[in-house]
Amino acid sequence: MNNLKLAGHFKFPAVLIALLTVLSCPAIAQYSWDQIDYRANLYELRESEIRRGDNIDESNRQLMEEIRNYKPSTNGRAEGVTYEQALKIVQMTNQNDVTGNRSHSKYDPNGIRGFCFGRALYAHLELLRHGVDAQAIKKVFIVGPMKNGVDWQFHVTTVVRAKDKNGWYAVDTFTGRPMLLEEWFSRFTGYSTDKKLRMYVTRPAKIGPSSWEYNTKPGGLFDPFYNSYFKDMFEMFRKTRVSSSEKFVQRCSQLFL
């Protein structure tokens, strides 16, 4: 369902360089998501765990507990979102001209790209634009064979710390509404064909399970394979501002100058 062609080093148009370099500073590797390198191959990592005889269910349970108990430290930005704010991000992802439902025929006419990774990237950047602290945003990958009408090998969503619940919201258009991470993961375990679906939490700038961080080098986000999907997304960001009243924290300084 999702076919990625990404490689290279972090390099972006100027409007996004400032956003991501300021807000996505490297963290000390004390949590599992900080220990996973951007360039780690999650397919290979899962296979090595299976070969070792690891208890996949227990590994998922421990990871779920770790992120549920994680309290990000923020610096005057929003430490999380309410359900209504998370729903706004899902709706924005569904309704814009690039990641929305209307765009499928333009960017993915043959249905071979999937673009769950593109929607997750959009949600990540939109949360930042709305004033959410970088430490309160992660990516969650689920890796393993799944079947739901079609066969696919992974799915990814952006998750954001919940302010009105104890946990994290998955802002995923696949489910149509924000879900707490536990509910979201349970939904996808039902699609697993080998019952060894593995969940990984990573820093938010990892784009795919076997690909690197956001980049625009050859084979990266601006590759012709994506039919200008990411170029058009960044242009859309450039043209649209988030007003102070729209941000999830009023003290947030303006990100797009």
- Per-residue model confidence as pLDDT tens digits over 24-38: 444 555 788 988 999
Residue the block writes with tokens 């990641």: 99
| SS3 at position 157 | strand
- Per-residue model confidence as pLDDT tens digits over 39-59: 999 999 999 999 999 999 999
Q: Residue 227 is which amino acid?
A: N
What pLDDT band is residue 250 in, cutting at 50, 70 and 90?
low
pTM of the model: 0.87
Report the distance separating Cα 152 and Cα 124, nearest Å: 23
**pLDDT(9) > 80:** no
Structure tokens at 219: 């084979």
What pLDDT band is residue 251 in, cutting at 50, 70 and 90?
low
Closest CA to 202 of 108, 117, 129, 145: 117
* Terminal CA-CA length for the chain: 37
